[in-house]
Amino acid sequence: MRILSIETSCDETAMALVGASGGLRAPKFKVFKNIVLSQIAVHRPFGGVVPNLAKREHMKNLPKILKALVASGYTLNPDLIAVTVGPGLEPALWQGIEFAKDLAKKLKKPLIGVNHMEGHLYSNILKNIRIEFPAISLVVSGGHTILLKLDSLTKWKKLGETRDDAAGEAYDKVARLLDLPYPGGPEIEKIAKSGYPIVKFPRPMLKDQNYDFSFSGLKTAVLYYVRDNNKTSRADVAASFQQAVVDVLVGKTIRAARVYRAKSILLCGGVSANKYLQKNLKVAASNLGADFHVPAFEFNTDNAAMIATAAYIQHLRKKKLPMLANSNLNL
Ligand code: KG4
Ligand code: ZN
């Protein structure tokens, strides 16, 4: 089937046209078109995403992307239209939902609501890989940090999540402390490359016998350090902060993988774009004898292709989500 998917939960307006086949046992995908219009330039002066500006930009961008899709030669004849209904910024979500409802009506096609986090979770199967179960998935984005144990593509248990800031949020807040622009994740990664992790920041909850996370104390530690040590370079602070985050994310994921005898480890969400995290988790997984998977770069941060994968799985499971923006939807 051909799925036309729409994503507007935060500051990326995205649409994709994806072919899906194979059913739940062996789902296969072909991304025909994956368009993302980033709003970074609009939000950057404010140091973060402004919900009503995001809504306005989505309103402007959605018809533009649809036009571009048609102009690229694809006939708009999907079997299913999918749209993110949560979690995310409510005004931003509504813009996508209303647009999708209109389009479904015009094209007389069925419409399905999708959980953005399931999109991230399934972004790994866009590569048409075979995942060995049980698997441990580390979902790290701007709003969430979640550790899951999966027994199959559709059966999972949440092992733990962040008690305060998400990993991406911590990157963004620390970037602001270092006068780096929004979004901070890629900026920290970039300058950390020329720094050394010489500052011993805390590794919050690393030793706790649970799978929860906490990053707000680490952010505060960086705040005090920067205030009191103006001789340390930003690159060294960034490298030290990144090392602390990666140590915690990798440490907890590997412990879960060991305890649950995971055959694979799946990394996803915006922070999964981070090459240093990818490298460290890959090495740790290999030492454990587990497969390691991470989506291709264009599918790490928010995109609509991943929404199509979740829509396909959901459609096969005959699972229905109400066509209402739900900012608190979770996994
Ligand atoms: O998944 P995503 O695009 O949006 C949400 O669902 O939240 O994730 C965005 C988050 C931001 O906090 C951003 O700073 C972070 O992902 N991020 C990164 C990198 N690229 C994006 N964090 C660390 N390193 C990166 N290279
Ligand atoms: Zn996301």
State whether residue 138 is helix, strand or coil: strand
The span from the CA of 260 to the CA of 305, in Å, is 30
pLDDT tens-digit map of 239-261: 999 999 999 999 999 999 999 99
In terms of phi and psi (left: phi > 0; alpha: psi -120 to 50; beta: otherwise), the region of 269 is left
The span from the CA of 304 to the CA of 12, in Å, is 9
Q: Please state the rounded mean pLDDT for residues 57-81.
A: 94
Give yes or no for residue 141 CB within 6 A of ligand 1: yes
The per-residue pLDDT for 75 is: 81
Q: Please state the rounded mean pLDDT for residues 175-192.
A: 97
The span from the CA of 218 to the CA of 236, in Å, is 15
Best CA proximity match to 149, nearest among 133, 166, 164, 161: 133
The span from the CA of 310 to the CA of 290, in Å, is 24
232 Cα: distance to centroid of ligand 2 (angstroms): 33
> Residue 73 burial by CB count (10 A; 0-12/13-18/19+): exposed, middle or buried?
exposed
Neighbours of ion ligand 2 (CB under 5 A): 141, 302
Confidence of residue 137 (pLDDT cuts 50, 70, 90): very high
Q: Please state the rounded mean pLDDT for residues 6-19.
A: 97
Do the Cβ atoms of 197 and 243 come closer than 8 Å? Answer: yes
Among the bound ligands, the one closest to the CA of 300? 1
The per-residue pLDDT for 73 is: 86
Q: Please state the rounded mean pLDDT for residues 301-311.
A: 98
> In 77-123, which ranges are E strands?
80-86, 111-115
pLDDT tens-digit map of 109-118: 999 999 999 9
Give nearest CA residue, ligand 1 atom 1.
270
Give yes or no for residue 269 CB within 6 A of ligand 1: yes
Confidence of residue 74 (pLDDT cuts 50, 70, 90): confident
Confidence of residue 45 (pLDDT cuts 50, 70, 90): very high
The span from the CA of 309 to the CA of 313, in Å, is 6
Q: Please state the rounded mean pLDDT for residues 226-232.
A: 96
- Ligand 1 atom nearest the C-alpha of 275 is 26
Q: Please state the rounded mean pLDDT for residues 92-100.
A: 98
* 282 token code pair: 């890959």
**Virtual torsion, Cα 59, 20, 263, 287, nearest 10 deg:** -60
Give yes or no for residue 10 CB within 6 A of ligand 1: yes
Q: Please state the rounded mean pLDDT for residues 170-189.
A: 97
User: Which of 34, 161, 171 has the most ligand 1 atoms within 8 A of CB, as the residue to mutate?
Assistant: 171
Reply yes or no on whether the pLDDT at 76 is more than 90. Answer: no
Backbone φ, ψ for residue 10 (5° rounding): -140, -115
Paired sense of beta strands 264-268 and 156-161, if any: unpaired
Q: Please state the rounded mean pLDDT for residues 292-300.
A: 98
This prediction has a pTM of: 0.97
Instruction: Name the helix (H) or strand (E) containing 286.
Output: helix 275-288
Mean pLDDT of all residues belonging to the chain: 97
165 Cα: distance to centroid of ligand 1 (angstroms): 13
